[in-house]
Amino acid sequence: MAAVHKVLLADPELSYLSTLEIMLLREYGEQISLLLATDPVYLDELFKTPQQIDILVINETFWKDEYQRQGIENIFMLRETDTKVRSEQGFINIYRYSNVQNVISNVDALLRHMVGEKRPAGCKLVLVYSPQGGCGKTTLAIGAAKALQALGNTVLYVDAEYLQSFGGMLNADVWADRNLIEELSAGRFTRETLDKNIIKGDIHYLAPMQYSLLGNSLQDQHYVSLLKTVREALDYDFIIVDTSGDFNKCKADLIEMAGQVIILCTQGRDSLSKMEALLRNINVSDEKKYLPVCNMFRADVKNELADSRIWHLISHKIPYSEDIKDNEDMQDLFMELAYSLI
């Protein structure tokens, strides 16, 4: 008989805990044992004796350092203010007022590992899209790909933009060969060409075009057939697709193909108007598929999204940083985003 994992949820608001409880039980049923606590006095009484708890999700107002004596390895701290993901004590911080699905995603990724549940068979395609240019889309896509790979997944990054300039971020100077260009044009691909044009570095990535798609007589639509082939023929857990900001048939096809779509925006007025236009054309109510993310967020700058419905859809806020590559907090945020994709 499979082990039952004990999960303790502690927060003063019963309705909040009930939502988490329903979502976890729906997913794991008899594989977990759930305990809810809305009273800190009850917690004190409970922890007077040793408890075998696998996962603790606790509001920061309930936390006491003496609880660490319980030796709980997996602690998620529900914070009243947004803060860095990992605390000095090793806790995973979660902003309590973020999308509830975000809270579940963090716990869910850990539970899947604990119960030995494998990702469903097949490759998951994740589309990273924004109607706005200059919002850090490629940086976020590569960061998410690296985080997913660090979690033990096999990941392929594909740039389907008209101008493919990501090579500088990976210190790469390798270009797609003529065979790939010809096969893209024909819509038929050989395993030999694909293998030669997939570069295996910090992440696996499809070699970019040295010249624009237009210069190679290609369109982004040619990548749709490529992605279908790669998803079926190659052994990857995830394909991260970075695509241009125009909204056309290719984007509609990619959105339909994708298991999840990260929609990136910033907090400025231009981003607000473009996001509003996008949401008039697609329905993002499926929280498991669509992850709206606010990138380069700065608390000291006016947030034009604050009074719009868009802000309530945001699943993650990635703060502005001049140093992304060596910033540990940024890497933690990419890891948190990766948990939402698993």
- pLDDT for res 16: 86
Better pLDDT: 107 or 1: 107
324: how many CB neighbours lie within 10 A of its CB? 19
Mean pLDDT score across all residues of the chain: 85
- pLDDT for res 23: 79
pLDDT band per the 50, 70, 90 thresholds, residue 109: low
- Determine whether domain 124-341 maps to CATH 3.40.1190.20: no
- CB 263 within 8 Å of CB 291: yes
Domain boundaries, the chain: 5-114, 124-341
- What's the mean pLDDT in 70-94? 78
Percentage of the chain exceeding pLDDT 90: 42
Give per-residue pLDDT as tens, 188-228.
999 999 999 999 877 899 999 988 998 999 988 899 999 99
The superfamily CATH assigns to domain 5-114 is Ntrc-like two-domain protein. (3.40.50.10850)
Check for a shared fold between 5-114 and 124-341. Answer: yes
Angle between helices 249-257 and 222-233 (to 10 degrees): 20
* Residue 118, pLDDT above cutoff 60: no
* Residue 38, pLDDT above cutoff 90: yes
* Residue 110, pLDDT above cutoff 80: no
* Residue 331, pLDDT above cutoff 80: no
- Beta strand segments in the chain, E: 5-10, 32-37, 55-59, 74-79, 92-95, 124-129, 155-159, 198-200, 204-206, 238-242, 260-265, 290-297, 316-319
| DSSP secondary structure string for all residues of 203-250 | SEEEPPPSS-TGGGT--TTHHHHHHHHHHHHS--SEEEEE--S--SHH
